[in-house]
Amino acid sequence: MIILQADKYKIMKVLFRYIKTMAPYLLAAWIIIILIFSSIPRVPEIKINTGRLEIKIDYILHFGEYFALAGLALLAFAGSDYSLLARKILVTTLSLLVFAVLDESHQLLIPGRSFNISDMLSNFAGILSGIIITLHLNRSLSRET
């Protein structure tokens, strides 16, 4: 059991290192993808109705796309030893939050789309969660390099 966990950790470390080298390109591509998808007019709403609760899949998608964006941004700006200065973390976080607001605001210009505060809150939750988890992973990996 311990051997399997060690192998799983090695695989994660190699994967994380590979993603780190590609992070600036992946970040640019992800920003473009977000802008393309948020510019599509009249997107249908997909909901899951559990009887007592109605869940919009849109909120989960917003969370996921901004979670990935935050992780890629921190990896792109981290040092080769995965270290990040507090100032870089703060600037990255604020930049991502501003991007989320601008992305949601630009939807006012798209036919059939609107500014949705719940979407923006999902974006913010994704950003903050992505930053927290990526920082935790960065710190774990920086101790070992």
Scored b (16 or more CB within 10 A) or e, 43-55 reads eeeeeeeeeeeee
Q: pTM value?
A: 0.86
DSSP code at position 5: H
CB-CB neighbours of 91 under 10 Å: 12
- What percentage of the chain has pLDDT greater than the value 70? 92
Distance between CA atoms of residues 4 and 26, nearest Å: 30
Q: Give 23-63 pLDDT, tens digit per residue.
A: 999 999 999 999 999 999 988 888 888 888 888 888 999 99
CB 43 within 8 A of CB 96: no
Length of the chain, in residues: 145
Decide if pLDDT at 7 tops 60: yes
Task: Measure the CA–CA gap between 126 and 50, rounded to whole angstroms.
Answer: 24
- Residues 72-110: pLDDT tens digits? 999 999 887 777 888 999 999 999 999 999 999 999 999
Do 40 and 100 touch, CB atoms closer than 8 A? no
Q: Where are the alpha helices (DSSP H) in the chain?
A: 2-38, 57-77, 86-106, 117-144
Q: Is the dihedral of CA 96, 99, 105, 106 positive or negative?
A: negative
Q: How far apart are the first and last CA of the chain?
A: 25
Q: Is the pLDDT assigned to residue 9 strictly greater than 80?
A: no
Residue type, 104: E
